[in-house]
Amino acid sequence: MKPIGVFDSGLGGVSFLREAVKKLPNESFIYYGDNKNAPYGDKSEEEIERLALGCTEFLTEKGVKAIVVACNTATGSAINLIRERVELPVLSVEPAIKPPSDMGGQGKILMLATAATTKMARYHELKSRMKEPSRIIDVPCSGIADIIENGVFDPKAYETILDEKLSGYKGMEIDAIVLGCTHYIFISEAISEYAARNFKGSCTIYDGNEGTARRLRHVLEEKNMRELGSERGSVTFYTSGDYEKYKRIFDMLMARQR
């Protein structure tokens, strides 16, 4: 009967939470957004580790039965530390570069993420295991998460910043675009529209949320922790920031269709 804890540097992890609620409708969830300190992407690894451990402590004190780190940047910096500190199952999202790499192709794979994620050893070790690491182009996208944190989702609002980050690849054949930050999933329409106007190739969008939600369900079943009652579970929201501001955006995002 215990809830599942989910945290992110801010609102990005809500994109994972929506997938988890779909796959595990009888489970209850506690979501913690560290909005006061968002985004994590331009901070040092030491600062990210400290903040991520603080989020973990908050959730464990709420009595959760498992934790999902729904933040690629926190995963890259702190996932091993978190697993050392708690005895609960701890899952995480990571840039979904494997599916498009396994597909093969002649075009490139753009991996859009925070500046911190693109520099982390954990990500580069993951990238080194791909079939053709040279196909993957890492694109630091500082600034995008800040706009999303303010509740701006109109695709037109992102034309300038996307051009700033992606104009160097115009005309290139792109097989896939990996959204390596859970925030970016909320503007996948803007990214797809930009890609259609400026790149060649299929530009298929990938993210790691669905795979992580499937993994969560498997782990709960494996450990006999799955809630199988007939009643729908609850979702409780907490934030380190302005509750009224972020709860309004949280509710809007939870209600949106992907």
Give yes or no: 181 in active site.
Answer: yes
Residue of 55, 141, 181, 203 marked catalytic: 181
CA angle 3, 66, 129 (to 5 degrees): 145
Token pair of 116, please? 């911190």
How many CB atoms sit inside 10 A of residue 134's CB? 8
Q: Quick one: residue 111, left, alpha or beta (phi over 0 = left, psi -120 to 50 = alpha)?
A: beta
Give yes or no: 141 in active site.
Answer: no
Residue of 55, 71, 141, 203 marked catalytic: 71
CB contact set of 98 (below 8 Å; sequence gap of 6+): 130
Q: Which of 78, 84, 130, 65 is nearest to 103 (CA)?
A: 130
Task: In whole angstroms, give the CA distance from residue 154 to residue 211.
Answer: 27
Just list the catalytic residues: 71, 181
